Amino acid sequence: MQFTAAQIAMMINGKVEGNADTAVASFGKIEEAQKGQLAFLANPKYEEYLYSTKASIIIVNETQELKQPVEATLIKVADAYTAFATLLDKYQQIMRQQLTGIQQPVYIASTAKVGDNVFIGAFSYLGENVIVADGAKIYPNTFLGDNVRIGKNTIIHPGVKIYHDCVIGDNVSIHAGTVIGGDGFGFAPQADGTLKKVPQIGNVIIEDGVEIGANATIDRATIGSTLIKAGAKLDNLLQIAHNVEVGNNSVIAAQSGISGSTKVGNNVMIGGQVGIVGHIKIADGTKINAQSGVSKSITNPNSAVTGSPAFDYTAALRSQVASRNLPGLEKRVLELEKILKEIMEKKNA
């Protein structure tokens, strides 16, 4: 499938400089792209490739100044990186629309409802009263438990398991191996030292526009719902415990874990390998540095924290500077003690 520079510019609200009829059929990195491919330039450190690349079309920032002639057709936009992401999304949507139908073998309960233009891959299981809305793609080896709802144009990648009663919104993407709705980790200690399991009868709700990476686990609520709000982006290998709430457009990097009933605000950024205890609140706009351990609520919006236990990022940097200076400070203290001792000896002589 080919697109001309004029067609691409229309999709991303760009301005063509060069031959508007130049066509491309695939994408390439600017340093490796060949004739017939489209590339983009957003990072200035790759600017040298703008003049040597073989790409036929290049998306660049409208502020880009040319230091020498460029062979490729340029499409100038306000933000090249965002425009390229938009273009990839549109391309992906076009390709997905071609994938429809139900492969065999699958199991679809008689009470399940499947919408129009849906794809269901082989060896998938759709339980009682499952609803799969229009345009959804369910890839092979997927399990959808009883009463699960899948929204419009949502993509469930291979091997995903979604337990009973969970609700997935529109335009959600869940990557391979992720488990949604497993039991929360709840046990009541008994007098004899044993642990009695607390039944987990809630569910998980994933709102619109969420993306969840591979091999993540999001546990169902004990009562009520574990909630991932619209626009949140969750990386691979995460653990989200029962009754957690993750706010709108928040981002969580790989190998992080959030304990039960913690409420993460909107537009929060959580780095990799962060651990957050249960029953606390993280204010809107908070930034948590990688490998931090958060042991108490963060109440001030737009805070930045680091360390374990995590505390103010700027204060932490000052502490690190002070720590690095300790050997020199110790030497100065010893010198001062020596001078003071000599002064005292002379005074007492």
Write phi, then psi, for 335 (nearest 5 degrees): -65, -40
Residue 258's alpha-carbon distances to 69, 197, 254, 274, 309, in angstroms, are: 52, 20, 12, 8, 15
Give pLDDT tens digits for 282-294: 999 999 999 999 9
Query: In terms of Cα–Cα distance, which of 153, 213, 228 is closest to 178?
Result: 213
Which ranges of the chain would DSSP assign to H, the alpha helix?
A: 5-12, 80-97, 313-324, 326-348
Residue 105 and residue 121: Cα distance in Å, rounded? 9
Which listed residue (157, 164, 175, 242) is catalytic?
A: 242
Residue 219's CB is within 10 A of a number of other CB atoms, namely 25
Give pLDDT tens digits for 178-187: 999 999 999 9
Q: Is the peptide bond before 105 cis (omega within 30 degrees of 0)?
A: yes
Q: What pLDDT sits at residue 156?
A: 98
Tell the residue number behind the tokens 């301005």, with chain if given.
15
Q: What pLDDT sits at residue 311?
A: 67
Residue 212 and residue 218: Cα distance in Å, rounded? 10
Residue 220's alpha-carbon distances to 32, 109, 185, 331, 340, in angstroms, are: 45, 23, 9, 57, 67
Query: In terms of Cα–Cα distance, which of 136, 187, 142 is closest to 162?
Result: 142
Decide: residue 226, CB within 10 A, 0-12 exposed, 13-18 middle, 19+ buried: buried
Q: Whole-model pTM?
A: 0.81
Q: What pLDDT sits at residue 22?
A: 96
Q: Which residues pair with 240 in a beta bridge?
A: 218, 258
Which residues in the chain show pLDDT less than 50? Answer: none
Active site residue 175: no
**Contacts of 241 by beta carbon, 8 Å cutoff, 6+ apart:** 184, 185, 219, 226, 257, 258, 259, 260, 261, 262, 278
Task: Classify residue 43 by its DSSP letter.
Answer: S
